Amino acid sequence: MNPIALKEFLDGKVAQYNQPGFIADDPVSIPHRFTKKQDIEIAGFFAATLAWGQRKTIIRKCRELMDLMDNDPFNFIVNHTDHDLKPFLNFKHRTFNATDTLYFIEFFRSFYRSHQSLEDAFAVSGNEKTIENGVIRFHDTFFSLPDFPMRTKKHVATPARGSTCKRLVMYLRWMVRQDENGVDFGIWKNISPSQLICPCDLHVDRVARKLKLIKRKQTDWQTALELTDQLRTFDANDPVKYDFALFGLGIEGWMNA
């Protein structure tokens, strides 16, 4: 497929999948339950972190977690007592367990004592091509509290370790991208959509390779950068909108058609 035809094909798929109907069956539905900025940030971060496995299970476990926070996550984070944390001792999703949950809660409480928005932890200058340094900085900030549990590090990735950081960059897409379709929130204004990196999950990786958008053999952070550079040739200002197309094609089984 020549580049012009490929762009037209992918643009059509973006239009097909970047629609409100996409929300209900996706983890992004969890932050869509809220309107307050901090609630969206917190619910979105948990949803992105737990986005591992079957989507129905992810959504069910995220709802369970929000229920434990009285469906008022920011208020719970900043005002909870030790007694309020006891129900979380039974929370588990795959390898994400109570230890991880309680550390996440403690980090958020500490962070929001001195910041109005989690965007501050990901901040990059407008001169930087991508949010790479912001993701590294966030990871370092997240694990800056004393006595953080080492086991929790496997749930918060960093480009410094070569990870694709697929859940973190998906979260950033949710927070930064804004259009009239209402899937992504666009509540963070200091990071440009042009700086985002495409989440390179299994579906996206397979479809992108089939379309020859990825040449790198392994799948790591450099692969995510390579893919995003290719997507910039289609739309330099908003390359990550094509995540909708690549993911949607993977979900609908286009690879096997």
- On the question of pLDDT at 253 being above 80, the answer is no
DSSP 96: B
DSSP 76: H
| Residue 257 binned pLDDT confidence (cut-offs 50, 70, 90) | low
Radius of gyration of the chain (CA): 18
Q: What is the mean predicted confidence (pLDDT) over 235-242? A: 98
| Residue 254 binned pLDDT confidence (cut-offs 50, 70, 90) | confident
- On the question of pLDDT at 197 being above 70, the answer is yes
Those residues whose C-beta lies under 8 Å from the C-beta of residue 1, and which sit 6 or more positions away, are 9, 211
Mean pLDDT of the chain: 96
pLDDT in tens, 198-232: 999 999 999 999 999 999 999 999 999 999 999 99
Closest CA to 238 of 228, 225, 248, 247: 228
How far apart CA 235 and CA 198 sit, in angstroms, is 13
Give this prediction's pTM: 0.96
